[in-house]
Structure 1
Amino acid sequence: MTDAMAQRLARLVGLSAGDDRADTLIRLTCGRALSLTPLPPPADLPDAHTDDDAVLVAFAEQFSVDVTGIGENQRNRFVKVYGDNAFRVVVAIFVADFLPRVWAGCDALGLGRPGWSAEVQIDRDTDPVGAVLGGFVPAVAKLREVDPVTTELVRLRGAEAHNCRLCKSLREGHALDAGGSEDLYRQIADYERADGLTEAHKSALRYVDALVWTPSAIDDAVVDGMRRHFSEKQMLEITLDVMRNAANKIAVSMAADAPRVAEGTERYEVDEQGQTIFA
């Protein structure tokens, strides 16, 4: 699993918005916003910013800091600048936003930096939308080192952090069959005081919060909890799960996260290929 995922992460590093100037601004902005080393930029930072640059920088910064803060006006200005290429640019922002978080988490857990290289070849031809949503996301989803209930708790914590209406409206079937329930999931919001969640569950949720909100300062207690309850393969899987789930930021930023049901929740399952299957 480690070698295959390291190769996938290495390929993500090279993905491009299709423009060196945009890629440079995106990567440097996300790194600064996270207080983490950015992905290698393909060009020098432009001496002067245009109005379009300012729109991109503001959008990428808000995406990284708290995607729920992107409002209709900011989104409309972004789409006006990038037009039909807007979705590709957002996916490039997601990669620049979350790969540094993955490496920060892996570093803290003693897992190294899977997929990291000092030299990166920017791939301007591959569509990052397909590579991320059609390649990386299902590849992570089919991992099975972590039990389904813990995986679902991690997913729902991320859904709440990014306020993804679609994610919050769904419940994974394998987790329900393994003991997941609405009574259990309601405890996620105040998990530190929850009596229905195990210490392993709470350790995983603390780690989710750290990657989402404080990736540059992951507390030693968070690391100790993860090491105590999970193997190295499980810790890597949980780290990648946080990134996979955070792909919901793409939809949230573009207001494309409408729930599938008007009330309640809908059951779905992740099959052996990592694909989402609805009832």
Structure 2
Amino acid sequence: MFGQLSALVAMSSGDQRLDAVIRLTCGRAVQLPPLPVEADLFDGKSDVESVVAAFAEQFATDVTGIGENQRKRFMTALGDKAFRVAAAVFVADFVPRVGAGLDALGLGHPGRDVPTAWDHETDPAQVLLGEFVPAVARLHALDPLTTEVVRLRGAIAHNCRLCKSLREEHALDAGGSEPLYAEIQDFEHSEQLSAGHKAALRYVDALIWTPSAISTEVARGVRKCFSEDQSIELTLDVMRNATNKIAVAFGADTPRVASGTERYLVNDDGQTVFAETV
């Protein structure tokens, strides 16, 4: 998995200057060292670079703040490259968070090193969504219910309407229920969520809202409740779930159901398979 993260770091939006704008902007927004860049920005930003910088800053700070006007300006400025650039923004936004989280847990820091070879050809969106996301979904150190609780907390944070409408079947079989899920919103006062769930959710919140200041207490709680493999999977799950930020940024997070929730499961290949409306 760390090799896949390194591969994503080596990939480009298709424009080295734009990569630098994106990575430096996201680094400042999350208050973490940015991913490595190839180009130096000695002169001012172009109009397109300014539009992308504003989008990247809002994306990293709070994606729910991207409105129709900013979305339209971004898509107009980039045309058919918009999705690839948004994926590059996501990588610049979230790989430093993963590094900070694993650092806080004493488990290393992927993405910090300059790539030995830059990849200007591969579309990061294809690798992120087609390879990385399913690979994380295939990890099974964590139990299904914890995985689902963590996913739903991320869905709330990013206000992904689609994600909030989904329920994973393996988690339901493992004890998930609507009363339990309702307590995720105010999890500290929950009587149904376990100590492990609460430790995981504190970590989720730290990665999403304060990645540069993950407290020793939060990290200690994770290491107390989860093994090393589980802690790594938990961290990668937060990144996997956060790919919903791309859909939210584009306003493409409409639920597949008009009301209620929809069941799905993750198959052996790490792919999402929709089941039935409940």
The TM-score, its normalising length taken from structure 2, stands at 0.97
**Aligned match for 2:50, one of 51, 54, 67:** 54
Q: What code does the residue aligned with 2:54 have?
A: A
2: CA distance, partners of 1:70 / 1:46: 28
Q: What code does the residue aligned with 1:131 have?
A: V
Give yes or no for contact 1:7–1:115 (8 Å, CA) kept in 2. no
Aligned partner of 1:153 in structure 2 is: 149
Aligned partner of 1:226 in structure 2 is: 222
Aligned partner of 1:85 in structure 2 is: 81
Aligned partner of 1:100 in structure 2 is: 96
Q: What code does the residue aligned with 2:118 have?
A: I
Q: Deviations over 1:125-150 (max 9, x none)?
A: 11111100000000000100000000
2: CA distance, partners of 1:45 / 1:236: 35
2: CA distance, partners of 1:116 / 1:187: 36
Q: What code does the residue aligned with 1:135 have?
A: E
Report how far residue 109 of structure 1 moved. 0.1
SS of 2:273 mapped into structure 1:
strand
In structure 1, list runs of 5 or more residues that go unmatched: none
1: CA distance, partners of 2:49 / 2:83: 17
Aligned partner of 1:205 in structure 2 is: 201
Aligned partner of 1:277 in structure 2 is: 273
2: CA distance, partners of 1:228 / 1:122: 38
2: CA distance, partners of 1:188 / 1:246: 17
2: CA distance, partners of 1:89 / 1:19: 9
Report how far residue 115 of structure 1 moved. 5.2
Could you tell me the percent identity over the aligned residues?
64
Q: Does 1:264 align with 2:260?
A: yes
SS of 1:189 mapped into structure 2:
coil
Aligned partner of 1:248 in structure 2 is: 244
**Aligned match for 2:181, one of 178, 181, 185:** 185
Aligned partner of 2:161 in structure 1 is: 165
Report how far residue 49 of structure 1 moved. 1.6
Report the RMSD for the aligned CA atoms in angstroms: 0.9
**Aligned match for 1:129, one of 116, 125, 129:** 125
SS of 2:95 mapped into structure 1:
helix
SS of 1:30 mapped into structure 2:
helix
2: CA distance, partners of 1:92 / 1:62: 14
Give yes or no for contact 1:20–1:42 (8 Å, CA) kept in 2. yes
In structure 2, list runs of 5 or more residues that go unmatched: none
1: CA distance, partners of 2:74 / 2:159: 20
Q: Deviations over 1:80-118 (max 9, x none)?
A: 100010010000000000000000000000001135423
SS of 2:186 mapped into structure 1:
helix
Report how far residue 277 of structure 1 moved. 0.7
Report how far residue 119 of structure 1 moved. 3.7
Q: What code does the residue aligned with 2:179 have?
A: D
1: CA distance, partners of 2:205 / 2:42: 34
Q: Does 1:176 align with 2:181?
A: no
SS of 1:269 mapped into structure 2:
strand
Q: Kindly report structure 1 stretches of 4+ aligned residues shifted beyond 3 Å.
A: none
1: CA distance, partners of 2:71 / 2:264: 30
In 2 relative to 1, CA 244–277 (structure 1 residues): closer, same or farther, beyond 3 Å?
Answer: same
2: CA distance, partners of 1:45 / 1:126: 23
Q: Does 1:42 align with 2:38?
A: yes
Aligned partner of 1:31 in structure 2 is: 27
SS of 2:109 mapped into structure 1:
coil
2: CA distance, partners of 1:105 / 1:60: 21
Q: Deviations over 1:237-276 (max 9, x none)?
A: 0000000000000100001111010100000000111010
Q: Give the aligned length.
A: 275
